[in-house]
Structures are given as structure tokens and as C-alpha cells.
Amino acid sequence: MSSKLLFKKKVKKELDSIENLSILVTGATGTFGQTFIEYLLKNYNNQRIIIFSRDELKQHEMREKFESTGFDLDRLRFFIGDVRDYARLKRAFSKVDVVIHAAALKQVVAAEYNPIECIKTNINGAENIINAAIDCGVKRVIALSTDKAVNPINLYGATKLCSDKLFVSANNLSGSDGTIFSVVRYGNVIGSRGSVIPVFREQKNSGVVSITDIRMTRFWLSINDGVEFVYSCLKLMKGGEVFIPKIPSMRIVDLAKVIAPKCRFNVIGIRPGEKIHEIMISSDDASRTVEFSDKYVICPDKNLASNKKYITYKKKVGKKVNDNFFYSSESNKDWLTLEKMKKIIS
């Protein structure tokens, strides 16, 4: 079946705002989830904001944190649950307008040694999110992804690639007026749980910082930039897209120099599942990729010439990239200087 037939879905109107909508965030006690919910509390008057996660202690700490900062907690709902549990998701999704799916097992090394657990959360969990959203009449679902999903060499990346495919294809299941699904893919979030930055800070006191490979590069963005990008895509999404922000790269060794300038480096070699460089758009996806001033959009329909709905967002017209285009942390045109990174993490 051609892609032209697959995506004969009625195009949803772009949102001007998420005011008065009920929003649920999976993995809501993680770095992204907490920052996104704080962003909503500060800027929007949502009917309900549902914190869905499996960690009761983090939910308790999150509630105390928001109470101490004076936020209106009447809008918040704390739901203990696991994305592996369809019945619990279906209960949580009742009368929800928007779902942000941020829950994942994302530690690369842990996934290599616990592959079935990673599959249960990242793939089976994605299937449960899709089915519960369709069954409960959720309007929009955005799933967060990673650069590791492109040409994956580790299990985590492979599960996220599969998850991305599931969410894109879910638009075929939900009907012409049903739930629309899209994906946001980005790189390393500065200061997030699992980031190398806390590791370097801890090692700084010993005088020696461990580097896996001095050639290694990564895409970087701040958590606030990540939250704002997801919010902007939530308003723009039409269903089936993968949104990728334009963000800078930096060598890991330069990051170490910013955090621990007086330390010597100990090169320990690449860990299981690691890459030297990351890719966010492969050349195989170039034929479906449209460039905007601040982002790229990988469209579900290869025939962009006859399907222009994915080329224009908020009256801004994108430009199709060259057929040999790819977006890599190594060949990126935008690089973080030591001074810029120093300001970001200070």
C-alpha cells in the first residue's frame, strides 16, 4: 500500500494555545516531565494536568516542590501507573485532550543488560499508549524520541526507533477524525538525569575525568529549550511527523574542559552500545524531510510535491532538503563554544 493512501487523514487545525485543555504527561517525574509541567503551571490555565509515573516517592517530592513554590495544585492529578499496564493507562486517559509521552527506559548500558525490560517499556508501552489514546478519544499525542533512534547500534536506540514507527503508523489506526500522533526527536539534554555533566562534576574532585573517546560528539540542548520545542510542535502537529530541532553540537572532551579545566583525562574506551557521533536525520529520510528556520520535519508522505500539508506550518513554508542530506553531530554547522556551554551550565 502506498504512503499516499496510508495518510488520508483529515488534517487537524493547528492549535493556537493549550488553554483549558486536559494534559497528561507520562514519565512526568523525570527531568523533562517536571520542567514541562512547571512550564504549564506558570503560563497556562489547563483544566487538569495529570502526572503519570510509577515512582511514588518522586511524585511526593514533586508535590512538595510545587506546594512550596505557590502553584495551584488543584489542577494537578497524581497517578501512579506504568505504561506497561494498558488498563491503568485507559483509566488515566479518561477525558484527556493531550498526552505527552516521555516515559522510557533510556540508560544505554542498562538496556544492553536488561533487553526484555527495555522492550516491555519502550515498545509494548508505546503500543499501550496508542491503544489507550484511541480508545479514550485523546485528541493529540506527542512521543519524545532520541537521536539514538537513527541507525541504532544499541538496544535502547532500536526500541525507540520501533516506538517512533509505531506512533507514526498509529495515524492509520485512529480514523479520519480520531487521535493524531507525532514524534519529537532531539539530542542530549543538558543536566538531565543520566547526563554526563553530573558525572564530570563528581569526578572533578579526584583530578581525573574519564573520557570514552576524544573524537566523540553529541547534540546538546537545554531542558527549557526542549520543553518549548515540544510545546511548539504540539500546536503545529498534523499527524505522522517527526519534528527535529536545530541544535548545536559539542565534543565531549570540550565539555569536560568546561566542567573540569584543571583535570587530566583518562580515555577508557567506548561503552557497550555507544556511538562516536550521533545522527538525527539519516540520508535515507532526506526525501521526506523539510527544513524550516528552527527545525526539520520528517514527513510521513514521501510524495511531498502532491501533499503540501506537511510543508506549511503557521503560514511558514519549509524547503525540501537535498536527497543526500543528513543531520549529524559531527558535520553539524552549529557548534557550542566553551564559553557558551559555561554560561548554560553555570
12-24 pLDDT tens trace: 556 777 888 999 9
The answer to whether the beta carbons of residues 37 and 49 sit under 8 Å apart is yes
Q: Is it the case that residue 5 has pLDDT exceeding 80?
A: no
Quickly state the pLDDT bin for 148 (edges 50, 70, 90).
Answer: very high
Is residue 3 within 8 A of residue 106, CB to CB? The reply is: no
pLDDT of residue 315: 83
Question: Sorting pLDDT into bands at 50, 70 and 90, what band is 177?
Answer: confident
Q: 3-state DSSP call for residue 271?
A: coil
pLDDT at 126 over 80: yes
Instruction: Please say whether the beta carbons of 325 and 281 come within 8 A.
Output: yes
The ranges assigned to domains in the chain are 3-189+220-247+280-333
Report pLDDT for 69: 87
- Contact partners, residue 89, CB within 8 Å, separation at least 6: 52, 81, 83, 128, 129, 132
Residue pair 268/41 in contact (Cβ under 8 Å)? The answer is no
Contact criterion met (CB below 8 Å) for 212 and 271: yes
Class of domain 3-189+220-247+280-333: alpha beta
The residue annotated as part of the active site, out of 148, 160, 257, 275, is 148
Residue 58 has pLDDT above 50, yes or no: yes
Asked if 147 contacts 244 with a C-beta cutoff of 8 angstroms, the reply is no
3 pLDDT tier (thresholds 50, 70, 90): very low
Beta strand segments in the chain, E: 22-26, 48-53, 76-80, 98-101, 140-146, 180-186, 188-190, 208-211, 217-222, 242-245, 249-251, 264-267, 279-281, 289-291, 295-298, 312-313, 316-317, 319-320, 327-328
Q: Could you confirm whether 148 is annotated as catalytic? A: yes
- Cα–Cα separations (whole angstroms), residue 127 to 4, 96, 334: 24, 18, 36
Tell me the mean pLDDT in the region 3-12.
Answer: 44
pLDDT in tens, 310-322: 788 888 889 999 9
pLDDT in tens, 261-281: 999 999 999 988 889 999 999
Q: What is the pLDDT of residues 65-111, one digit of tens each?
A: 999 988 888 999 999 999 999 999 999 999 999 999 999 999 888 99
What is the model's pLDDT at position 314?
80
Residue 182 DSSP symbol: E
Roughly how many angstroms between the first and final C-alpha of the chain, as a whole number?
A: 52
**Are the CB atoms for 328 and 218 separated by under 8 Å?**
no
Q: What pTM did the predictor assign? A: 0.92
* pLDDT for the residue numbered 305: 54
